[in-house]
Chains A and B, each alone.
Chain A
Amino acid sequence: MRYVCLVYFDPHKVFGKSGDPEKLRRDSDAYNVELKASGHLVAAEALQLPDQAMTVQVRDGKMSATDGPFMETKEVLGGFIVIEGRDLNEAVRIAAGIPLAKLGSVEVRPVIDFSKPPPKL
Chain B
Amino acid sequence: MSSADARDALEAAYRAEARRVLATLIRLLGGFDAAEEALHEAFAAAAEQWPRDGVPANPYSWLVSAGRFKTLDRRRRQARLAGALAELAALADTELEPAMPEHIQDDELRLIFTCCHPALTPDARIALTLREVGGLTTEEIARAYLAPAPTIAQRIVRAKAKIRDAAIPYEVPARAELPARIESTLQVVYLIFNEGYAATQGPSLTRDNLCAEAIRLGRLVVELLDEPEALGLLALMLLHEARRAARVDSAGDLILLENQDRSLWDRGRIAEAQGLIERVMLSRRVSPYILQAAIAAVHAEAPSAGETDWAQIVALYDGLLRVDPSPVVALNRAAALGMRDGPKAGLAAIEAVLGEGGLDNYHLAHAARADMQRRLGLAEAARASYQRALELTRQPAERRFLQARLAQLAAVDR
- Chain A interface (Cβ < 8 Å from any Cβ of B): 1, 30, 34, 38-40, 86-90, 92-93, 110
Contacts and interface: CB of A to CB of B under 8 A. Distances in A.
Contacts of B72: none
Interface of B is mostly: helix
Contact of A38 (B41, B149, B156, B157): B41
B40 A30 contact: no
A93 B37 contact: yes
Given A30-B81, A34-B74, A86-B137, A92 B36 contact: no
B139 to A, nearest CB: 6
B373 interface: no
Nearest to B136: A87
A30 B36 CA distance: 20
A12 to B, nearest CB: 26
Nearest to A96: B33
B24 interface: no
Given A88-B137, A92-B157, 15 more contacts: A1-B139, A30-B81, A34-B74, A39-B40, A86-B137, A87-B137, A87-B138, A88-B152, A88-B153, A89-B131, A89-B138, A89-B156, A90-B40, A93-B33, A93-B37
A39 B36 contact: no
A96 B200 CA distance: 37
B376 interface: no
Interface string B142-171: 000000011011001100000000000000
Interface centre among B36, B40, B77, B81 (most CB of A within 10 A): B40
Contacts of B150: 88
10 contacts: A1-B137, A34-B74, A34-B77, A38-B41, A39-B40, A87-B139, A88-B138, A90-B40, A93-B37, A110-B149
A39 B46 CA distance: 12
A88 B156 CA distance: 10
B225 interface: no
Contacts of A92: 153, 157
B44 interface: yes
A40 B81 CA distance: 21
Contact of A39 (B33, B44, B139, B140): B44
B37 to A, nearest CB: 7
Contacts of A34: 74, 77
A30 B74 CA distance: 11
Contact of B153 (A1, A86, A89): A89
Given A30-B81, A89-B156, A110-B149, A38 B139 contact: no
